[in-house]
Structure 1
Amino acid sequence: MSHYAPPADARPEGNPTFDPDGGPTLAQQLAAFAAHCATQGVPGDVAASVGQRTLDVLGLCVAAHRLPTSAAAIGHVLDQGGHPQATVVGVPTRVNAAQAAFANGVLAHSLDYDDTHLPSVLHPSASVVPAALAAAEHAGASGELTVRAIAVGLEVAVRLGMAGYDEKLGNSVFFEHGQHATSITGAMGSAVAAAIAYGLDEKGIADALGITASLASGIIEANRTGGTVKRLHCGYAAQAGVTAAQLVRRGFTGPPTVLEGRFGFFEAWLHGQFFPTAITDGLGTEWSVPGIFFKPYPANHFTHTTVDAGRAFAAQGITPELVAEVVIGVAGSTARTIGEPIEVKRTPETGYQAQFSGPYAFAAGLIGGGGLATGLDDYTDELAQDPLRRALMAKVSVVDDAECNAIYPFQFPAVVTLRTTDGRELVEKVLTNRGGPARPLSDAELGRKFSDNVAGRLSADVAATVSTAVLALGDVTDLVGTLAPLSHFIPTATEESP
């Protein structure tokens, strides 16, 4: 493990004093940590986790090409022109680094299949990995430095997200304000990752944070009433981070008190309600990165334990014809997303709407599917409107459950009660999420997810070569060459919306 401790002189000379002791500001402490890791490295388990997360993101970027919004985002990027600096997954033409980060960030987050940190409930890799890869390609950084950049960027994003997590409230203050912490803190983590990849020093990293705070944004109303704008959020976060680091290289600076200052990040977003110890406690010795939850299923993370419950009932011989009624008990905060309004959740019109539906998750789990229990092909427009699934969803309710409330948001549990047509009552409790530390995915399972995501677009040989290289990213000397196979797909038929 790293033994980093912020140096006493971390604050550059001449900066205004913020606290009575004259110590470094929060941004300066994060910058000192980042600069230390850039030169001294990160723990082995953290580096291994970075390889897994990078592979996961790249597979998601390939799979997301099935979406019309992906074509729109890529078309937008290609229209901008610019210097060939970095790779967009699935695009033969290299584009400028900030635009590559944007495109890959959009792709990575578009299928709701990217990793999640709990209890902050944010998706850090979908912005940080695209930002780091784009900046590293542009700068000619080594695989080793790229791993360090991603690791620190993820850690910063998570710690800033946790600074907005209120234990008494039991939820993220960002979320309660309608803010998308994924894109807001993801932009900040992306800035640190890009700054490391570009070789900025400690002050430059702090300046990148100071600039990015003015670029970070995102609201989550689309989760409630629709729209595909959420797919853009990680793209803009990644782009913001790369752009900020580039501007620092040209001389722009940011305020050293950007995080805790009177008109800083936490005042602007959370009205000053934040927890600074979440940023500083154990910084450099206690890492969050290996504990970030992978997603085994391509749907809103709140639905995953319901999928597991459906699979458990299927294993007991329950078929759709035997179901009379189902009650899904979840935490109240998740019920708002996957169970309200229930009429809409029982009748999703599209695969995208089905990804946010508790009733659909139960149907998908009970009927069974591909991937690691359900896969991308189980969330299509056709299946969302399938009469068998519609009939099953009509029997499903989603309610607030006290046991689940006591566990959330450290897990997204479900207590599912099923009454059969012959009068039996069965209960399945799934209190931990598959893909998290309590039920981790094996390397083989993560490899299966990657293979499924790239199937039909990369040959098996190319997929295996990319997988091996990315999992050992720290040993890569030619990042451009490693990513090159991802820019040329096997020709496919016209894509359909999932």
Structure 2
Amino acid sequence: MTETTITAQVAAHVASAAAIALPPEVAQKAQLHLLDTLAAIISGTRLKAGRKAMAFIQGQTGPAQSCVPGTPILTTAIDAAFAAAMAAHADETDDSHLGGRFHPGCAVVPAALAVADHRRRSGAELLRAVACGYDIGARATIALGFSGPRSGTHSTHCLGANFGAAAAAGALAGLTPAQAEHLLSYATQQASGIAYWQRDSEHVEKAFDFGGMGARNGVFGALFVASGASGCTGSLTGPFSYLSAFGENPDPEALAAGLGSRFEIMAASIKKWCVGSPIQAALDSVMALIASDGLTAADVVALRAIMPDDRLTIVDNRDMPDVCLQHLLALALVDGELSFASTHDKGRMQDPRVLDLREKITAIPSPELTEARPARQAIIEIDTKDGRHLRHRTFAVLGTPDNPMRPEEVEAKARDLIAPVLGADQTGRLIEAVRDIERLADVRDLRPLLMTDGAA
């Protein structure tokens, strides 16, 4: 395949994606990621990034094209996608894709949902567009050939979201292959993002970088091209292209390799714990020791958390509760469990019992765990007052492709996040509707289940 045809091949895939049935196992995985992201959106509307986004779009004007889940708001498709994406990554609840180094759901699902609602597409088409977004978003970052998490000039979390959302929106906007190629040109021009988001202590700009920016850009590009706007061809490869601007060791073939047969949503992870991804394995290990040895906070003399050295800095003694390794390990031992509410309670960071236990925790960076596969392993070692030396190594984190969560586990997580906003009855009906999403004739029929205050 020549480089000049790669963009055209990606565009053709985007243009046809909504019409092509997914294999059953891919459709089920996509349905779970759809539900998981809806839960992140709805719960995130009550967090700071979500609240700021809702307040902003309510000051804008425009036709009521799409709904914002978890609110009574009807607004333009662009604003609905932006606000829902901000809420989806208002914390660390949403999914991730390790190979693509981005969080696909928080940008892809809001973009797809907004356009599907606006254009009254079917549930099956929505699901296919979501899968398409994961496919294109992951390939867009993998093709850059970054040698390490911090080797690129731009953040993969922003770039993957940008192209994933554009592809998902484009798949539902009724574009021809030529128009989809023009959409990719707009996606290339809007590609941005630098990794100083790691300094964000309020998770507002980070929500924009990971979700809101990509969803907004993708829906804008898809609807602008669908309205008749033209763009350039061949934007992804060659001179003056996406890969030439952003790539470290670019691999043009990776942009289109396996499209239609290798589905990147199968490589995506759903989090058991609503906390930063590098902490998942450590929590799995602590909870395993609580279950197997009856461990409590009172038993602990010393705790050593051995972590991959390339990820530890992201979660080491952070000032936000849901991304602080030491706080969450101490909290889990003090409470014997973790919930969405407890992991987001900043006041618990001053709990004397939690602070006392944090003094006994040492985080140890490990080059060996950075290289270990499956990735993101962790080891917890605990010395107890009665002389025991406990150790647990999590090899495959719960929720990853190597240890996937069962559908009932994903639904239980969703219920915990959604019910405080929508109520138990509406939450149950929404979960049932998403479970049966492929039979839904019109995505707009979800509005009464997604929105608050009986709006529809």
TM-score of the superposed pair, with normalisation by structure 1 = 0.85
- Indicate the SS of the match to 2:305: strand
* Cα distance in 2 for residues equivalent to 1:298 and 1:41: 32
Greater helix share, structure number: 2
* Cα distance in 1 for residues equivalent to 2:289 and 2:21: 46
Residues 1:454 and 2:418 are matched in the alignment: yes
Q: Which moved more, 1:281-290 or 1:236-245?
A: 281-290
Q: Describe how 1:3-82 pairs up with structure 2 within 5 A.
A: 24-82=4-62
Residues 1:377 and 2:342 are matched in the alignment: yes
Name 1:5's counterpart in structure 2.
Answer: none
* Cα distance in 1 for residues equivalent to 2:165 and 2:95: 15
Give the AA of the match of 2:328: A
- Indicate the SS of the match to 1:98: helix
**Distance verdict in 2 for CA 1:59–1:24, change over 3 Å:** same
Equivalent of residue 194 in structure 1, options 152, 165, 169:
169
* Cα distance in 2 for residues equivalent to 1:237 and 1:84: 21
* Cα distance in 2 for residues equivalent to 1:94 and 1:162: 36
Name 2:266's counterpart in structure 1.
Answer: 290
Residues 1:414 and 2:394 are matched in the alignment: no
Residues 1:320 and 2:287 are matched in the alignment: no
Instruction: Give the ranges of 4+ consecutive aligned residues of structure 1 lying more than 4 Å apart after TM superposition.
Output: 21-24
Equivalent of residue 388 in structure 2, options 417, 421, 424:
424
* Cα distance in 2 for residues equivalent to 1:274 and 1:391: 49
Q: Which moved more, 1:212-221 or 1:89-98?
A: 212-221
Give the AA of the match of 2:246: W
Equivalent of residue 212 in structure 2, options 211, 223, 235:
235
Is 1:220–1:230's contact at 8 Å kept on the other side of the alignment?
Answer: no
Q: 1:63 Cα deviation (Å)?
A: 0.8
Deviations 1:120-160 (A, max 9, x none): 32110110110011111111212222222111111111111
Give the AA of the match of 2:142: M
* Cα distance in 2 for residues equivalent to 1:485 and 1:142: 16
Equivalent of residue 305 in structure 1, options 281, 285, 298:
281
Equivalent of residue 214 in structure 1, options 177, 184, 189:
189
Name 1:388's counterpart in structure 2.
Answer: 353
Deviations 1:378-420 (A, max 9, x none): 3311112211111111221212224312226x52110122222
Q: Which moved more, 1:305-314 or 1:22-31?
A: 22-31
Give the AA of the match of 2:251: F
Name 1:359's counterpart in structure 2.
Answer: 326
Deviations 1:186-212 (A, max 9, x none): 111111111121110111111111101
**Distance verdict in 2 for CA 1:125–1:381, change over 3 Å:** same
Name 1:471's counterpart in structure 2.
Answer: 435
**Distance verdict in 2 for CA 1:467–1:369, change over 3 Å:** farther
* Cα distance in 1 for residues equivalent to 2:23 and 2:398: 24
* Cα distance in 2 for residues equivalent to 1:120 and 1:196: 20
Name 1:398's counterpart in structure 2.
Answer: 363
Name 2:405's counterpart in structure 1.
Answer: 441
Equivalent of residue 129 in structure 1, options 109, 121, 127:
109
Residues 1:482 and 2:450 are matched in the alignment: no
Is 1:120–1:165's contact at 8 Å kept on the other side of the alignment?
Answer: no
Q: 1:23 Cα deviation (Å)?
A: 6.2
Name 2:70's counterpart in structure 1.
Answer: 90
**Distance verdict in 2 for CA 1:40–1:454, change over 3 Å:** closer
* Cα distance in 2 for residues equivalent to 1:128 and 1:394: 40
- Indicate the SS of the match to 2:281: helix
- Indicate the SS of the match to 1:455: helix
* Cα distance in 1 for residues equivalent to 2:145 and 2:133: 19
Is 2:131–2:263's contact at 8 Å kept on the other side of the alignment?
Answer: no
Deviations 1:31-50 (A, max 9, x none): 12223433332222222222
Deviations 1:84-127 (A, max 9, x none): 10001133231000000000000111121111112332110110
Unaligned stretches of 5+ in structure 1? 1-20, 491-498
Give the AA of the match of 1:398: A
* Cα distance in 2 for residues equivalent to 1:221 and 1:120: 19
Deviations 1:160-209 (A, max 9, x none): 1222354xx4x34xx43363322222111111111121110111111111
Is 1:320–1:367's contact at 8 Å kept on the other side of the alignment?
Answer: yes
Give the AA of the match of 1:194: A
* Cα distance in 1 for residues equivalent to 2:336 and 2:196: 30
- Indicate the SS of the match to 1:355: helix
- Indicate the SS of the match to 2:391: strand
**Distance verdict in 2 for CA 1:472–1:290, change over 3 Å:** farther
Q: Which moved more, 1:178-187 or 1:241-250?
A: 178-187
Identity of aligned residues (%): 26
**Distance verdict in 2 for CA 1:113–1:22, change over 3 Å:** closer
Name 1:17's counterpart in structure 2.
Answer: none
The aligned length equals: 451
Equivalent of residue 109 in structure 1, options 74, 78, 89:
89
Name 1:156's counterpart in structure 2.
Answer: 136
Residues 1:252 and 2:229 are matched in the alignment: yes
* Cα distance in 1 for residues equivalent to 2:153 and 2:199: 10
* Cα distance in 1 for residues equivalent to 2:145 and 2:16: 27
Is 1:70–1:106's contact at 8 Å kept on the other side of the alignment?
Answer: yes
Q: 1:246 Cα deviation (Å)?
A: 1.3
Give the AA of the match of 1:262: P
Q: Which moved more, 1:274-283 or 1:386-395?
A: 274-283
* Cα distance in 2 for residues equivalent to 1:23 and 1:122: 25
- Indicate the SS of the match to 1:59: helix
* Cα distance in 1 for residues equivalent to 2:155 and 2:349: 26
- Indicate the SS of the match to 1:38: helix
Q: 1:218 Cα deviation (Å)?
A: 2.3
Unaligned stretches of 5+ in structure 2? none
Deviations 1:37-66 (A, max 9, x none): 333322222222222111111111111122
Is 1:267–1:273's contact at 8 Å kept on the other side of the alignment?
Answer: no
Q: 1:217 Cα deviation (Å)?
A: 2.3
